[in-house]
């Protein structure tokens, strides 16, 4: 494949996690950013990976841009909005169980699609476009429609548009809006990458096959259904394969398992065009990610050979 520009669209947030003695550690993460991170780690250097979002003009926004840039991910499409700030979440630990508190209702990223020309320019400059159900959920409805229209244009232009439904009911105004908008996300995409747990819980799918059929009926061409330690089922243009997960000695932290799988899968698939091999590669990367703490595991710890 000759495509060389990967664009991920969504929200990256400030992350605060427990560092002992009541101290908090600051990081940056968010589903589509995590996927950009792993795509960057796994793609060859002749690929560019860009992150598309909106941030504010405060010091924390500056730090986030510097962090993204240091990760080798392009920041030139990040719009800065005067007076706005990034979203924030905190991870609490109680008896070994993690829980999350979010402050993102007013984040700059909610305006990421408010400038349609800016969005169009970024999508037109890319060969591969990635976004998620979380990206759609945080947008005002008319901006979600703008983003979906750009995705459809990109799909019609023959670009690889990839979408992870990443269903989070709390982010949506209602189940009806969530079902309709996520379905539209899938319809506007070539490759849909759902997690079966979410699809069963929120779309009522009785089986992985039901998830595949529902997304194919909407117009998705290729589908990868992730199912945790039970592996993934792929349906590429109608051809089905199953790829098992890799055995993990001790699962430490499953944060970003699906995001890392998506980034690694896309990277390998874009380089080789081989979906089944890409799923095997991505299972290896995701297995490393769940064996470490945190959403963003450094490239050196991903155990990749080459690439
Ligand atoms: P999500 O994080 O989106 O819910 P999954 O839980 O399906 O996604 O995990 C994504 C991928 O991460 C899986 O396809 C698998 O490769 C890997 N993975 C997740 N949990 C485990 C596990 N316990 N053991 C091995 N691999 C895992």
What are the helix and strand counts (H, E) for the chain?
10, 14
Structure tokens at 83: 């007076």
The per-residue pLDDT for 9 is 99
- For 248-268, what is each residue's pLDDT tens digit? 999 998 999 999 999 999 999
Interatomic CA distance for residues 70 and 229, integer angstroms: 32
User: Which residue has the CA at smallest separation from atom 23 of ligand 1?
Assistant: 229
**pTM (two decimals):** 0.97
Task: Reply yes or no on whether the pLDDT at 2 is more than 70.
Answer: no
Q: Check if the beta carbon of residue 52 is closer than 8 Å to that of residue 7.
A: yes
- For 124-181, what is each residue's pLDDT tens digit? 999 999 999 999 999 999 999 999 999 999 999 999 999 999 999 999 999 999 999 9
pLDDT bin (cut points 50, 70, 90) of residue 242 is very high
User: Which residue has the CA at smallest separation from atom 20 of ligand 1?
Assistant: 228
Q: Is the CB of 252 within 6 Å of ligand 1?
A: no
Task: Reply yes or no on whether the pLDDT at 95 is more than 90.
Answer: no
User: Homologous superfamily of 4-11+30-85+110-301 in CATH?
Assistant: Ribokinase (3.40.1190.20)
Task: Reply yes or no on whether the pLDDT at 305 is more than 90.
Answer: no
Q: Is the CB of 227 within 6 Å of ligand 1?
A: yes
- For 19-63, what is each residue's pLDDT tens digit? 988 899 999 999 999 999 999 999 999 999 999 999 999 999 999
Interatomic CA distance for residues 302 and 307, integer angstroms: 12
- Residue 240 CB partners (closer than 8 Å, separation 6+): 212, 233, 234
DSSP state for residue 127 in the 8-state scheme: S
Given the residues 50, 143, 222, 259, select the one marked as catalytic.
259
- 273 vs 96, residue with greater confidence: 273
The per-residue pLDDT for 68 is 98
- For 216-234, what is each residue's pLDDT tens digit? 999 999 999 999 999 999 9
Task: Reply yes or no on whether the pLDDT at 115 is more than 80.
Answer: yes
Q: Is the CB of 200 within 6 Å of ligand 1?
A: no
The rounded radius of gyration (Å) of the Cα atoms in the chain is: 18
Please provide the average confidence, as pLDDT, over all residues in the chain.
96
Compute the distance from residue 287 Cα to the ligand 1 centre, in Å. 7
Task: Reply yes or no on whether the pLDDT at 306 is more than 70.
Answer: no
Q: Is 304 helix (H, G, I), strand (E, B) or coil?
A: coil
Structure tokens at 242: 């199953």
Structure tokens at 34: 């995590």
Looking up tokens 């929200």, which residue turns up?
11
**Does residue 259 carry a catalytic annotation?**
yes
Tell me how far apart the terminal alpha carbons of the chain are, to the nearest angstrom: 15
Q: Are strands 88-94 and 13-18 parallel, antiparallel or unpaired?
A: parallel
Task: Reply yes or no on whether the pLDDT at 77 is more than 60.
Answer: yes
- Residue 130 CB partners (closer than 8 Å, separation 6+): 6, 7, 8, 9, 32, 35, 36, 39, 161, 162, 163, 164, 262, 266
Interval 277-282 mean pLDDT: 98
Q: Is the CB of 278 within 6 Å of ligand 1?
A: no
């Amino acid at each position: 494949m000759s495509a060389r520009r990967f664009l991920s669209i969504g929200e990256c947030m400030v992350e605060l996690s427990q560092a002992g003695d009541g101290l908090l550690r600051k990081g940056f993460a968010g589903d589509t950013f995590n996927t950009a991170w792993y795509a960057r780690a796994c793609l060859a250097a002749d690929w560019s990976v860009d992150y598309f979002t909106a941030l504010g003009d405060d010091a924390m926004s500056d730090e986030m841009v510097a962090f993204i840039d240091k990760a080798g991910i392009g920041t030139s499409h990040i719009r800065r909005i005067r007076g706005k700030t990034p979203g924030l979440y905190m991870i609490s630990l109680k008896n070994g169980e993690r829980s999350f508190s979010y402050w993102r209702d007013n984040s700059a990223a909610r305006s990421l699609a408010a400038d349609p020309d800016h969005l169009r320019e970024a999508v037109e400059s890319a060969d591969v476009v990635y976004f998620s159900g979380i990206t759609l959920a945080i947008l005002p409805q008319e901006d979600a429609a703008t983003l979906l229209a750009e995705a459809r244009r990109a799909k019609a232009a023959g670009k690889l548009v990839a979408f992870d439904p990443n269903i989070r009911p709390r982010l949506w105004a209602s189940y009806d809006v969530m079902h309709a908008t996520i379905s539209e996300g899938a319809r506007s995409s070539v490759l849909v990458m759902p997690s079966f747990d979410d699809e069963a819980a929120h779309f009522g799918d009785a089986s992985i096959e039901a998830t595949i059929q529902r997304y194919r009926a909407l117009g998705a061409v290729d589908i990868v259904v992730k199912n945790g330690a039970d592996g993934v089922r792929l349906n590429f243009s109608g051809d089905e394969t199953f790829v098992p997960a890799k055995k993990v000695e001790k699962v430490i932290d499953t944060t970003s398992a699906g995001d890392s799988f998506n980034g690694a899968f896309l990277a390998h698939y874009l380089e080789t065009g081989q979906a089944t091999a890409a799923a095997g590669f991505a299972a290896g990367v995701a297995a490393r990610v769940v064996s470490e703490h945190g959403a963003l595991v450094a490239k050196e710890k991903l155990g990749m050979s080459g690439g």
